[in-house]
Copies of this chain bind each other. A is one copy, B any other.
């Protein structure tokens, strides 16, 4: 296997897309797939697919293509989702409550095991979800993260609080933060932050609709 730090960021983004498509294939009972089929499903050239999948060595079998189950396992190992991650959710507002019950997280190995909020009226309430969790005050964040072996945090807090909360998380030992406040956050050494802008999806939709009308 190639060293993973040699994998370019755009390829890593596409690995998630391949994984999702392969899981769909598995659901329909398909056991092997060609780079051409994968590419067509994802609007990529088959050359791109082959190049991306070559990052973890030869996997295509001549005359057979890629084995769906084998590929799913390999991509999950690369992405680090062949294990369960304990995740802290900060922010028990509308977005936070939606995440707590989002089925897509738990089926992919992300387990929200602690929820924090600064609002006294939310503390002590139970969040929805497969494994209901009681909302704790933000003051308990550091101690809880250490005790429960939590590595990742999802921030669903107002923009004005996001940097301070991120700093507290990183000081408490969180390695990775997914930030949904529409702003870029400063990251501490030894940690990583992904800033998600939900409007990007609407922009892609807008482009496609314009294209349909041309």
Contact = CB atoms under 8 A, between A and B. Distances in A.
Contact of A203 (B4, B19, B95, B184): B19
Contacts of A79: 203-204, 206-207, 210
A56 B105 CA distance: 38
Give the oligomeric copy count. 2
B9 A80 contact: no
Interface residues of A, number: 73
Given A103-B159, A104-B199, A108-B202, 20 more contacts: A4-B207, A4-B211, A10-B43, A15-B203, A19-B203, A20-B197, A79-B204, A79-B207, A79-B210, A87-B202, A94-B95, A94-B97, A94-B98, A104-B182, A104-B197, A152-B209, A175-B212, A175-B213, A190-B212, A192-B212
Top-9 shortest CB links A-B:
A95-B98, A80-B210, A104-B182, A94-B98, A94-B97, A80-B206, A176-B209, A9-B43, A104-B199
